[in-house]
Structure 1
């Protein structure tokens, strides 16, 4: 674009000298120069380097989408070489157009916030490798996970679209919703809190009031997992009370 503007300027002024023109012609020259001034000023500002835009997006992705010390790689998409953006007089600003910290494909915004602002979106591929928990052996639906059932495997989490676990205490004691194959990455949808009390089961009811606590037998009128509130019938009085499941076959009642 700079060359185009410069070419127009040269053509306009070709063959014109102050000794060979009259005042009307001189007015035309002045008017032409006035019209060209904004264009020449824009040309002087220059064109923003496409590599500077891609570098800004890369720095953002490496700093915001990869954890410290994490093994990973960021690949920034190509920009159309015909793109001409005015050179920014301020440092470029970057932001994530799509919220996605797990890696994979994403879009990063690069913005110029000076007097003549512009924004462009750059595609990026973020490959981040993390050790996640997998199933160490084939398991059946309803089995509770033990630490011995788990294995660690380093994977590109950008390829995992359904979540993953990095801490054993996030999954140990949980119950499988469905069968799992050996080597399969554990996801939140695969596990659930185990049912600690079944409907009709005889449970221990711990009733407390202040510092006093008594225990009695009760019959669970519904099932539930840790922390669930269920109804329990006192075996002796037949009174129905509500309590919180605090363990296998144990329900706590506040009096």
Structure 2
């Protein structure tokens, strides 16, 4: 992987070299597996702030890939009680999945419906799904045109249970296995948790494991 680091000149850089190096290393590690070429444009901290002792970088949104224009949090001090933020532009050149054909709403997406493009992942929406594994096997919630990337809200797991359906709920442990029939109170896909009614009053939550089959996790 080619990694290019660009620092915007700032008089405070010499005094905060450890801080900027820590943040750069942190971003490098976070983007290491995202693409083939990474360009990190990191703005040095304000010269008006005191020195950051024992800097520990973190991402304010830990669930989001560090792509595009981002803020990086840094905890400072012996007790890590001080927090400041640095601005960075992270561009990653790499592959991402696109539709190889027009996909109609309600279609189960297969691998043959996908193609691969290369580009700056930092220019894609934060909700873009770049990996085929996270797309194949899902159902299109809206029409997707050929050449378009896939957004998280474009697809969903196929429904294995529908509200009002009679389902089998399994509870098992090291020395027992119990199966009961109940009525699903919600729609759901694989590994989603929904409510199930037994009789007129008993309601439990169970995880969908197959077509009309759920399991109670202990």
The TM-score by the shorter chain falls in which range? 0.5 to 0.7
In the alignment, the residues of structure 2 paired with residue 132 and residue 219 of structure 1 have an alpha-carbon distance, to the nearest angstrom, of 41
Deviations 1:59-89 (A, max 9, x none): 3454222333641102234889xx6889x7x
Which of 80, 87, 108 aligns to 1:144? It is 108
Which of 148, 158, 161 aligns to 1:184? It is 148
Deviations 1:145-182 (A, max 9, x none): 11112222233232233323344332221112211111
Tell me if the contact between 1:92 and 1:110 (Cα under 8 Å) persists in the aligned partners. Answer: no
C-alpha distance 136-84 of structure 1, shift in aligned 2 (>3 A): same
Q: How many residues align?
A: 190
Q: Does 1:104 align with 2:68?
A: yes
Deviations 1:169-197 (A, max 9, x none): 32221112211111222122211121224
Which of 163, 166, 169 aligns to 2:133? It is 169
Tell me if the contact between 1:136 and 1:151 (Cα under 8 Å) persists in the aligned partners. Answer: yes
Tell me if the contact between 2:22 and 2:55 (Cα under 8 Å) persists in the aligned partners. Answer: no
Deviates more, 1:50-59 or 1:123-132: 50-59
1:83-102, aligned counterparts within 5 Å?
A: 93=55, 95=57, 99=61, 101-102=65-66
C-alpha distance 56-129 of structure 1, shift in aligned 2 (>3 A): farther
> Is the helix fraction higher in 1 or 2?
1
Task: Look up the match of 1:247.
Answer: 210
1:1-255, aligned counterparts within 5 Å?
A: 49-52=11-14, 59-66=21-28, 67-68=31-32, 70=35, 71-77=37-43, 93=55, 95=57, 99=61, 101-107=65-71, 122-198=86-162, 205=168, 210=176, 223-227=187-191, 228-230=194-196, 245-248=208-211, 250-252=212-214
> Is the strand fraction higher in 1 or 2?
2
In the alignment, the residues of structure 2 paired with residue 85 and residue 226 of structure 1 have an alpha-carbon distance, to the nearest angstrom, of 50
Question: TM-score when scaled to structure 2?
Answer: 0.58
Question: TM-score when scaled to structure 1?
Answer: 0.51
Q: Could you list the runs of 5+ residues in structure 1 that have no partner in the other structure? A: 1-47, 114-118, 234-239
Q: CA RMSD for the aligned pairs? A: 4.9
Structure 2 counterpart SS, 1:65: helix
Tell me if the contact between 2:67 and 2:122 (Cα under 8 Å) persists in the aligned partners. Answer: yes
Q: Bigger relative contact order, structure 1 or 2, given CA contacts below 8 A and separation 6+?
A: 2
**Which of these two proteins has the greater Rg computed from alpha carbons?**
1
Question: Following TM superposition, by how much is the alpha carbon of 1:127 offset from its aligned partner in structure 2, in angstroms?
Answer: 0.9
In the alignment, the residues of structure 1 paired with residue 74 and residue 169 of structure 2 have an alpha-carbon distance, to the nearest angstrom, of 60
C-alpha distance 145-111 of structure 1, shift in aligned 2 (>3 A): closer
Q: Could you list the runs of 5+ residues in structure 2 that have no partner in the other structure? A: 1-9, 78-82
